[in-house]
Each structure stands twice: as structure tokens, then as C-alpha cells.
Amino acid sequence: MMSSFKKVAMIMLVGLLIAGPIVPPHAVAQSDTGAWDRTMGAAQAAQDKASKAYNSMMMNMKSMAGMPMTANEKAMMKQMDMMAQAIKDLMESNHQLMELLKIQHSMPTK
């Protein structure tokens, strides 16, 4: 039962990262300020939601780590930890890209 919960949580986190606003950065940068603000606001909201879900999942994983587990459960926890690290890396990369877009947007166009 807990395994399916973890799988659903992982799919939701990855979906949040992938399903963020899919708009080419140059299209948003060339559009009006309102569109830029809405797009970046939606991207930030998705980032915050993913971060919150990630932190909740990590708390659950840490609390479960103290429980007695079979070898299979320990192997699954190790795999979950590896996926969690990959999600954390994706969230950090997404954050860096958003910061870069903000800097690029604030630069005057030629």
C-alpha cells in the first residue's frame, strides 16, 4: 500500500515539474508584461507546489526509514531515495532557469 502511495507521489512531483507552463521563453519575453507576469507566476507556483510535495514526501520517507524492513523494502527505499535526488536536481535546475529568465527579461532589448 505504501509503495503505491510513493509511486503516485513521485508521478505527481515529476508531472508538476514537466507540466509547468510550456511557453517558449523568447515568446514570453517578447510579449506584454502581463503575460510575462502570469507565466512566471504560474511557473513559481508550480515550483512551490513541487517543493512542498517533495518536502512532505521526504518527511514520510525519513519516518519510514526507522521501521523494520525486509530486503525488498530496503531496496525500494534506496530506489525512492535515488528518484528523490533526481527530482531535487530537477527542481534546482528549474529554479536556476527561472532566475536566468528573470535576469534576461529585465535586460533592455536592442
pLDDT at 64: 86
Interval 67-105: pLDDT, tens: 899 999 999 989 989 999 999 999 999 999 989 988 888
> From the CB of residue 31, how many other CB atoms can be counted at a distance below 10 Å?
13
Locus of grid cell 525500494: 76
Q: For the chain, how are helix, strand and coil distributed in percent, rounded to 5?
A: 85, 0, 15
Cα separation, 14 vs 96, whole angstroms: 17
> Looking at the domain assignment, is residue 97 inside a domain?
yes
> Looking at the domain assignment, is residue 96 inside a domain?
yes
The number of distinct structural domains making up the chain is: 1
Local structure of 108: helix, strand or coil: coil
pLDDT at 16: 63
> Looking at the domain assignment, is residue 84 inside a domain?
yes
> Looking at the domain assignment, is residue 110 inside a domain?
no
Cα separation, 27 vs 56, whole angstroms: 35
Domain encompassing residue 43? 2-19+31-57+70-103
pLDDT at 102: 86
Interval 10-47: pLDDT, tens: 666 666 666 555 555 555 555 567 888 888 899 899 99
> Looking at the domain assignment, is residue 76 inside a domain?
yes
Q: CB under 8 Å, gap of 24 or more: what pairs does 63-69 form?
A: 64/2
